[in-house]
Amino acid sequence: MTKKVVTLYLTQARYVFFVQRIVELAKVNQSSYICVANVHMTIEAYWDPKFAEAVNDADLVTPDGMPLAKAMRLLYGISQERVAGMDLLPDLLEEAEKKNLSLFFYGGTKEMLDKTQEYVQSNYPLLKSHEYFSPPFRNLNEEEESEIIQRINDFGANLVFVVLGCPKQEKWMASMKGRINSCMVGIGGALPVMIGMQKRAPRWMQKMSLEWLYRLAQEPRRLFKRYLMTNSLFLFLIVKQFFHLKFTKQSS
């Protein structure tokens, strides 16, 4: 993914495929990572080639958000279901409970992780093996990094849910591939929604690609500048790519 061409390497498959594939990676403790891509991640990848490489090197990238799913249909004729992190997270917890998979939550504040632990114990009582760690809000030094790697590997986590936010969580997962013996999933803002710290948009807003607007209404000060820049640029790039593909087809 470069500034010349904006694409995401997304698998054309139904939602259930993504869940099954992640569970398969987790069951065998394959060192791997999953990116749950939205418009923000796409634009971050557009501006930063190294970040784009981290996204494209993921074992799986899911189209989180209707704008991406619709862009795939418009540009490439691919009928792709949305695979939202807010749906994926509870479904993976349910599968982990059924298949006795161990979970490790990495990132977020201690308050968020305490609420997460309460939520998991209440809603997934058969899920016995789960651990939580809130890292400091700074880059870890080599010793601290080695300690967290050993802690996760010694725990034997099948799934590591990474809650650092984009682009930090994707960069962290890419740097941990081959070092952490688990399937890592960047869940970002899905966790606070699941545990009730934030609300999710109504279904009709989700279907109309307006979930971003609902989030903006909840956090206008933090998200206004980001959405103004990323959404505008995303629309511009989609239009640009559309005409590029159209003229390329006509000239061939």
pLDDT digits (tens, 9 = 90+) for 199-235: 777 777 777 767 777 677 777 777 677 777 888 899 8
**Per this entry, what is the length of the chain?**
252
Q: Is the pLDDT of residue 127 over 60?
A: yes
Q: Is residue 239 situated within a structural domain?
A: yes
Please give the average per-residue pLDDT across 145-172, as a whole number: 96
Half-sphere exposure of 90 (CA within 13 A, CB side): 12
Q: Is residue 90 situated within a structural domain?
A: yes
Instruction: Provide the H-helix boundaries in the chain.
Output: 15-27, 39-47, 49-56, 66-76, 85-99, 110-123, 142-155, 168-176, 190-194, 203-207, 211-218, 220-251
Q: Is residue 72 situated within a structural domain?
A: yes
Q: Is residue 8 situated within a structural domain?
A: no
pLDDT band at 8 (very low <50, low <70, confident <90, very high): very low
pTM of the model: 0.86
**Beta pairing class for 183-186 and 130-133:** unpaired
Half-sphere exposure of 108 (CA within 13 A, CB side): 26
Q: Is the pLDDT of residue 161 over 60?
A: yes
Confidence at residue 130, expressed as pLDDT on a 0 to 100 scale: 96
Confidence at residue 192, expressed as pLDDT on a 0 to 100 scale: 92
How far is CA 249 from each of CA 51, 75, 245, rounded to the nearest angstrom? 30, 12, 6
Residue 36, SS3 per DSSP: strand
Q: Which domain holds residue 148?
A: 15-251
Confidence at residue 114, expressed as pLDDT on a 0 to 100 scale: 97
Q: Is residue 5 situated within a structural domain?
A: no
Confidence at residue 13, expressed as pLDDT on a 0 to 100 scale: 57
Q: Is residue 218 situated within a structural domain?
A: yes
Q: Is residue 2 situated within a structural domain?
A: no
Q: What pLDDT digit, counting tens, does each position of 28-86 carry?
A: 999 999 999 999 999 999 999 999 999 999 999 998 878 888 888 888 888 777 888 88
Please give the average per-residue pLDDT across 183-194, as a whole number: 93
Give the count of domains, the chain. Answer: 1
180 strand-pairing partners: 177
Confidence at residue 61, expressed as pLDDT on a 0 to 100 scale: 92
Q: Is residue 7 situated within a structural domain?
A: no
